């Protein structure tokens, strides 16, 4: 396994995403979300067996990160888990709405927006693990409403947390410097790890098995090999 993979700044992560969806990569946003969400679902399933952790609370933000979460919720349902979707602020884009409809069609429960905080507390009390897909690499502190009341509740629940790409509340380059972000047990980085998670000490996976060799070489990503047909690969633990 390559140990000297590149950590991405926000600017570089954005540039790679743009190239993936340009003629260089020729991917659609739908393709990338589907592959990313599948990797997220596989990571949770790898660490938290459905026999012991069947009830997954999938917390989705309004952007592409939330879209990844909705895809993951659908796959988790197919894997035999019992996902519940919580959206503090639902996304307005057409792709987000279609992903949500796909989950509705699978009879995956979504917490209604009314009285959301009390409903979130009840959902946390009846969940086994959290999938955090709230903020992506474009997030910049401070945390604003309604998320400023949501993140503390997730932390106070003491449930294990799997974060997508960057733990919610962390700066993509400075990490949890302000101390307001989630402290997940597991992180699934997408494309390549971000600068802010260099010191992350939990179990760390890489997902998004879609980077063309040409782009990997162009940006010097030096990605590890994915084993067999897996969509994820576990990275060595950081020594703190």
Residues tagged in the binding site annotation for K(+): 65, 132, 168
Closest CA to 58 of 133, 5, 119, 125: 133
Per the annotation, binding residues are 64-68, 132, 136-142, 165, 168
In whole angstroms, give the CA distance from residue 111 to residue 201.
31
* Whether the bond into 146 is cis, omega within 30 of 0: yes
CA distances from 177 to 22, 77, 199, 222 (A): 34, 35, 11, 27
Per the annotation, binding residues for (6S)-NADPHX are 64-68, 136-142, 165
CA distances from 143 to 39, 118, 150, 152, 197 (A): 27, 20, 10, 11, 18
* DSSP state string for 8-30: BPHHHHHHHHHHHTSTTT---HH
Asked if residues 103 and 133 have their Cβ atoms less than 8 Å apart, the reply is no
């Amino acid at each position: 396994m390559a140990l000297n993979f590149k950590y991405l700044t926000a600017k570089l992560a954005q540039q790679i995403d743009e190239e993936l969806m340009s003629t260089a990569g020729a991917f659609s946003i739908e393709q990338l979300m589907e592959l990313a969400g599948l990797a997220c679902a596989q990571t949770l399933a790898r660490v938290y067996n459905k026999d012991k952790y069947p009830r997954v609370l999938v917390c989705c933000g309004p952007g592409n990160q939330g879209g990844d979460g909705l895809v993951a919720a659908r796959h988790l349902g197919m894997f035999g888990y019992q996902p519940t979707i919580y959206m503090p602020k639902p996304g307005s884009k057409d792709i987000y709405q279609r992903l949500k409809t796909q989950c509705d069609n699978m009879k995956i429960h979504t917490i209604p927006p009314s009285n959301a905080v009390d409903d979130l507390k009840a959902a946390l009390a009846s969940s086994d693990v959290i999938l955090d897909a709230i903020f992506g690499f474009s997030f910049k502190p401070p945390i604003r409403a309604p998320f400023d009341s949501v993140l503390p509740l997730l932390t106070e629940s003491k449930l294990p947390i799997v974060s997508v790409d960057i733990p919610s509340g962390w700066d993509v380059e400075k990490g949890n410097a302000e101390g307001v972000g989630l402290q997940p047990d597991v992180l699934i980085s997408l494309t390549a790890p971000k600068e802010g998670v260099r010191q992350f000490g939990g179990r760390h996976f890489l997902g998004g098995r879609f980077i063309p060799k040409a782009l990997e070489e162009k940006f010097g990503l030096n990605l590890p090999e994915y084993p067999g047909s897996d969509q994820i690969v576990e990275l060595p633990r950081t020594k703190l």
